[in-house]
Amino acid sequence: MAVAAIVGVVAAAGATVVGVTIGTAVAIGLAAASIYATVSMKKPTPGATPSQSERKQLIRSSTAPKQVIVGKTLVSGVWLYAEEQKGGTENPDGTYKEWLFNAIGIAGHPVYRVLKCYFNETPIEEYGEFANWQVHNNPTATDSYLLENGPSWKKDMIGKGTTWARISMLFDNDKYPNGIPTPRFLVEGVADVYDPRTRKKGFTDNAALVTLWVLQNYFNCSNDEIIWNGFGGFSEAANLCDEIVTNPDGSTEKRYTVNGSFLLDEKRGDILSDLLRSYGAELVRVGGRVGVLPAAYYGPATFTIHESDIISDIDLQPEPDRSNATNVVGGTFIDPTQNYVETDYPQIRDDEAIARDGEEIKTDLNFRFVTSPYQAQRLANIELKRAKAGAVVRFTMGLKGLYCRRGRVVNLDVPSVGLIGEYRVVSCGYHLAQGVEIVLQQDDIDIYDDAVGGEFVAPPLVNLPNGELAAPVNVRFLAEALGDVVQGKLVWQTRASSAVINEIRIDKQHSDGRLEAVQYGQSVGDTYNLNGLPVADYVASVRSKSASGKLSAWASSSFVVSMPKPPDAVQTKSSNWSINLVPQFKGSVPVGTLFEFWHLADPSSFLAGVPEYSADDLDKATKVHTGSSFSHSGLIPDRYQHYWVRTVNVYGASDFLYLMTGTTREQALVTTLVERLESIEIVSSNYVSGKSGYRIFPANPNDPTQDGKAEFNNIIARGHIEANTGHFKGSLDVASGNTGARMRITNERIDVYSSTGALKVRIGKL
């Protein structure tokens, strides 16, 4: 029979947004929003923010806060209503075949669209006739299906201004063995995000524009309180977030996107902080208006601070203190390929810093709004490089310091203490009497490159005079994988002073010898990560550049990015029990090359037999080793051995090279080994003296007649047996070839039989 259970009302109120001033909004944002807003890089302490797994659970409450969805994500919702149909058909087991009607609140606002519905992890379509659903996106009228079939559903249950779904389930023990499943929805969220570039509203996952939407809707920022263009402008920030970057798998994605959800009872400062962390951004305030600066290089500097501009002592911190140091950055992101669960992205490590610090100092950087592992790694890479750069300078300037807006890149030119280079303004405080207090942190374009896991060397603080710059030497390409995104790296040795930047140029070499530049880069240090290079011949060139702009000569080296080719030959060395295999090329072995060895044993004699297998039997072989060579031991002497060898590297695998060889049978080795033993005794497991089994007796130094003694039940000899004497306890049968004639000798008589088996001669007892 039907049982009604009205959990809530579709129009249940969520958390209420109260009005705040722009000053309050910016104060909250500047205090808690950015992971890069302070020199110490301390991360905001998370509050009671629901985890991603909790967001995918169905909430049974009529007073739950409303959910806000930005970008694209997978969520569950609030169970607003549940009721069984009246009547129904009774099954033989006493259950009822009847419908259960549900109303699930998805979002407290209209969304762009709801793409799919799942029961737990299964698409609802797989339930066939036993389930159906309907989405109500900002409805103006009630659900007619529920009004007709839901006993307690009323026509004023509409849910205006929200998004909810009606889900109906027909009871079936086989379809719902574990009871009511959890409904989940793949949603593209808020659809009224304003884009100042087009002056239109719509759906987007652009990180800067979603932040703008949050400021306008939940911090009550008016259009007059927003920086639209210029330094900190949302238009420029949106363009940067929409830049297309190429991933190592060949796919492309926008540089910074946000996708996720939050509840309206969360602290607004925490929500804004998590959003800004998703693209390494910080809020800026200029002239009473608020803007945003995503993680990017904002140089080259156009403003220089000279020694004469500083009116106080200079406080210099060359590197972070121990409590703020880090050499490993890891954390989590939301993985769409695993049903939007929190997943660890590959750690970004600084091996040089780990060796210097004597231990791993890990920083956790978790991204609740990031759904790309490559975006997470790019942000972690920036965090690690900023931490390694480290150097922080504090001083006070006159009114000229007002040009130092937070986030701006400036030139610092104080040669008396060796402070020359680019710095980023991390703090700028104005005091009428004391001047402008400035805090700078070292900045460099290499901090913001797209390579992940690459080594970064901090720019030196002191620039020493130097003469002509020496060109780098030993330029080499090393094929390897770093942090899941780097194809290989270029390494060299810098011979100039340490205060240099190295410029890199990668040229593609065509068949006619023409060079085509395909990639440029800079590196502070002796390495440069490469990715995205297609199969071709390349020339890598590196030159050094001083802080004053002086350049060295180019140092070049050629390398090849290619699919591996099979080895030209395999050198072998065989013995009784092992074979050593060394693949060989006519030229040098390519960098990063290894070989796979596949093996098939053959029962045939290598010295006298015919092999049972051939090159066509690769499907019977098994892979036994991967390496630059292989010493295969534990083999049987005098047996054919079949090998298939192929080349493998980071780009793929070559065809197989087939090799047939075999083990030797050097009897001298075996005899020498046996003769060194003083005694050998072999006894079968079923041996009983005089009855069963066999035994080979050991030598007895006290009884020489025992040497060579053996006991067997039967001896079959296909050749000649020679003995000085013979003693038989039973009978002796002697056959004459294949004719059938034979002779039997016993202790009483001798019988001779013809080929037909007739007795011809009998000597002895009749």
**Between vectors from CA 338 to CA 332 and to CA 341, what angle results, nearest 5°?**
40
Q: DSSP labels for 699-728? A: P-TT-GGGTT-EE-S----SS----S----
Between helix 22-32 and helix 268-277 the angle, nearest 10°, is 50
pLDDT at 592: 56
β-pairing, 500-509 with 341-349? unpaired
The yes-or-no verdict on residue 301 having pLDDT over 50 is yes
By mean pLDDT, which of 23-37, 172-186, 220-234, 482-496 is the weakest? 23-37
Alpha carbons 381 and 527: distance in angstroms, whole number: 15
Task: Tally Cβ neighbours within 10 Å of residue 654.
Answer: 18
pLDDT at 680: 53
Number of H helices, E strands in the chain: 9, 50
Q: DSSP labels for 155-173? A: TT---TTSEEEEEEEE--T
The yes-or-no verdict on residue 275 having pLDDT over 90 is yes
By mean pLDDT, which of 72-86, 216-230, 720-734 is the weakest? 720-734
Query: What's the average model confidence in pLDDT over 29-56?
Result: 44
Query: What's the average model confidence in pLDDT over 499-512?
Result: 84
- DSSP class of residue 151 equals T
Of all residues in the chain, what percent carry a pLDDT higher than 90?
37
> 161 is written with which tokens?
């201004």
Query: What's the average model confidence in pLDDT over 307-334?
Result: 87
The yes-or-no verdict on residue 360 having pLDDT over 50 is yes
pLDDT tier for residue 468 given thresholds of 50, 70 and 90: low
Query: What's the average model confidence in pLDDT over 123-130?
Result: 93
Alpha carbons 458 and 384: distance in angstroms, whole number: 11
3-class state of residue 424 by DSSP: strand
pLDDT tier for residue 220 given thresholds of 50, 70 and 90: very high
Q: 382 to each of 385, 389, 530, 692, how far by Cα in Å?
A: 5, 10, 17, 80
593-652 per-position pLDDT tens digit: 789 999 999 988 888 889 999 999 999 999 999 988 999 998 888 899 999 999 887 667
By mean pLDDT, which of 165-169, 319-323, 465-469 is the weakest? 465-469
Amino acid at 336: P
3-class state of residue 383 by DSSP: helix
pLDDT at 676: 44
Alpha carbons 409 and 460: distance in angstroms, whole number: 17
Alpha carbons 470 and 440: distance in angstroms, whole number: 32
Alpha carbons 254 and 72: distance in angstroms, whole number: 14
pLDDT at 173: 74
Task: Tally Cβ neighbours within 10 Å of residue 40.
Answer: 11
Amino acid at 655: D
Alpha carbons 757 and 735: distance in angstroms, whole number: 12
- Asked whether the beta carbons of 388 and 462 are under 8 A apart, the reply is no
Residues composing the chain: 766
528-578 per-position pLDDT tens digit: 888 777 778 889 999 888 776 677 888 998 887 777 788 899 999 999 889
Amino acid at 89: T
Evaluate the omega torsion of the peptide bond into residue 300 and state whether it is cis, within 30 degrees of 0: yes
Comparison of pLDDT for 14 and 491, the residue scoring more: 491
Q: 618 to each of 186, 458, 564, 622, how far by Cα in Å?
A: 47, 53, 20, 8
The yes-or-no verdict on residue 277 having pLDDT over 70 is yes
pLDDT tier for residue 461 given thresholds of 50, 70 and 90: very low
Query: What's the average model confidence in pLDDT over 238-260?
Result: 90
The H or E element spanning position 25 is helix 22-32
Closest CA to 288 of 20, 23, 21, 19: 23
Burial tier of 166 (Cβ tally within 10 Å: 0-12, 13-18, 19+): buried
> 44 is written with which tokens?
């905001």
> 339 is written with which tokens?
């049903």
- Contact partners, residue 201, CB within 8 Å, separation at least 6: 191, 192, 193, 194, 195
Q: Residue 72's beta-bridge partner residues?
A: 188
Residue matched to tokens 């058909």: 89
**Sign of the CA dihedral 453, 454, 455, 457?**
negative
Q: Which domains are present in the chain?
A: 1-20+46-224+244-267 (no CATH), 324-448 (no CATH), 473-561 (2.60.40.10), 569-668 (2.60.40.10), 727-766 (no CATH)
pLDDT at 187: 97
Q: Please, what is the average pLDDT of the chain?
A: 80
Query: In the chain, what's the furthest Cα-to-Cα distance?
Result: 145
- Asked whether the beta carbons of 472 and 495 are under 8 A apart, the reply is yes
Burial tier of 535 (Cβ tally within 10 Å: 0-12, 13-18, 19+): exposed
Q: Residue 90's beta-bridge partner residues?
A: 96
pLDDT at 399: 86
Amino acid at 17: V
The yes-or-no verdict on residue 206 having pLDDT over 70 is yes
- Asked whether the beta carbons of 206 and 192 are under 8 A apart, the reply is no
Q: Residue 70's beta-bridge partner residues?
A: 260
**Between vectors from CA 731 to CA 730 and to CA 732, what angle results, nearest 5°?**
135
β-pairing, 328-335 with 362-364? parallel
Distance of CA 488 to the CA centre of its chain: 16
Closest CA to 459 of 547, 394, 333, 570: 547
Closest CA to 367 of 643, 52, 656: 52
3-class state of residue 765 by DSSP: coil
Distance of CA 414 to the CA centre of its chain: 44
Highest mean pLDDT among 190-194, 378-382, 408-412: 190-194
Q: What are phi and psi of 740, to 5 degrees?
A: 95, -20
- Asked whether the beta carbons of 263 and 65 are under 8 A apart, the reply is yes
Alpha carbons 532 and 691: distance in angstroms, whole number: 77
Comparison of pLDDT for 29 and 422, the residue scoring more: 422
β-pairing, 555-561 with 111-119? unpaired
Alpha carbons 79 and 464: distance in angstroms, whole number: 69
Its pTM stands at: 0.55
pLDDT at 511: 83
Comparison of pLDDT for 626 and 728, the residue scoring more: 626
- Asked whether the beta carbons of 454 and 381 are under 8 A apart, the reply is yes
- Asked whether the beta carbons of 24 and 109 are under 8 A apart, the reply is no
> 392 is written with which tokens?
């922080």
The yes-or-no verdict on residue 448 having pLDDT over 90 is no
